[in-house]
Amino acid sequence: MSKLNNNADFANVGEIILQDTDLQRLAKPLSRVDTRLVRTAEEIRQNAADEISYQHTILCQTGFPYRETNLRRWERRNGRVFLEIEAGRVLDPDTERYVDLPLPFGSKARLILIYLCSTAVRLQSQTIDVDRTMTAFITQLQGREPNGPEIRKFKQQIAAIAGASIRMATVIEGRSLQVNSQLVSKFDILLKKDDYSQRVLWPETVELTTDFFNTLRDHAVPLDQRAVGALAHSAMALDVYAWLAQRLCRIPGRSDALVPWFSLHEQFGSGYKLIRQFRKIFLETIKDVLTQYPAANVLPTAEGLILKRSSPPIASTKLLNP
């Protein structure tokens, strides 16, 4: 991949990045992930989406940790929007004692959020039967039925999300405006041993909070479910895809928006101390994202990412009417 530095000519850096990445992939056999990206990209170019997923607009701008962590609180920032997530606690029905739940993390936590939002929008219901519908959703995304260890990991992320508390704040004219909330207001917790003799705490049903559900109905961002499935291997790719899906169609007229590298690092760079380290991974990730969002008009430069107004992944004529 071409090196990025402030002294280089970045006039055509976007094309160079994409061409270099393509050449790298052609030089070696396609992996299972790359094969799916290529196949799904062609499907998206040829056909409109039959299945639409949804994500809350706030969750398109901020997200969970990429990797498992022992932290009980985790912070992210997107411009003037600040997010703090606090891990929850739940009563263990076996010991009848409260136990710590971890912070939700990784691609599975993001897929669970998309699943919860999508199901709530489709059914127009705050209460979601996780046990009945989740496996079907995962199967549709992966193109195959999940195995036991995969199901266990998804169930663990559902419990983590159900128990987590979220604080969001913004600074306007020297004042801080903060909202304290949870995504889930009520959930039943079960303790089961799976086929691998591991104790798994997980909710069978969850009920979204009224505030979150009401805002979701007005601020659900439509996503192409095929793209979500193709990018399911990468938490960062899911974050970037959802962010572009809600951001690009909001850019006014013919104007461009430059998002500096330091801002991108604050938003997506969890786990990368140096911006140059993050930038390399981000450029590789956005290449995958753009294959699944062909209408996205973005250009990497030395200063950051230039965004131009683009059509959303899902045409308005395909959307559900609440």
Each residue's pLDDT tens digit, 55-88: 998 889 888 999 999 999 998 887 777 889 999 9
**Residue 319's pLDDT is what?**
56
Instruction: Provide the Cα torsion 106, 77, 301, 57; round to 10°.
Output: 70
Total residue length of the chain: 322
Distances (CA, A) of 311 to 219, 222, 228, 242, 253: 17, 12, 17, 14, 12
Q: How far apart are CA 49 and CA 210, in angstroms?
A: 29
The CA dihedral of 146, 147, 148, 152, to the nearest 10 degrees, is -30
The half-sphere exposure of 59 on its side-chain side, counting CA atoms within 13 A, is 30
Distance CA 241, CA 287 (A): 11
Residue 247, both tokens: 């951001």
CB 68 within 8 A of CB 166: no
- 172 vs 163: CA distance, rounded Å: 30
Residue 75 host element (H or E) = strand 73-78
**For residue 60, which of 269, 247, 212, 224 has the smallest C-alpha distance?**
247
Mean pLDDT in order along the chain per 10 residues (322 residues): 35 44 58 90 90 91 90 86 89 88 94 93 92 80 81 88 88 83 84 58 86 90 95 96 96 90 92 92 96 95 95 75 47
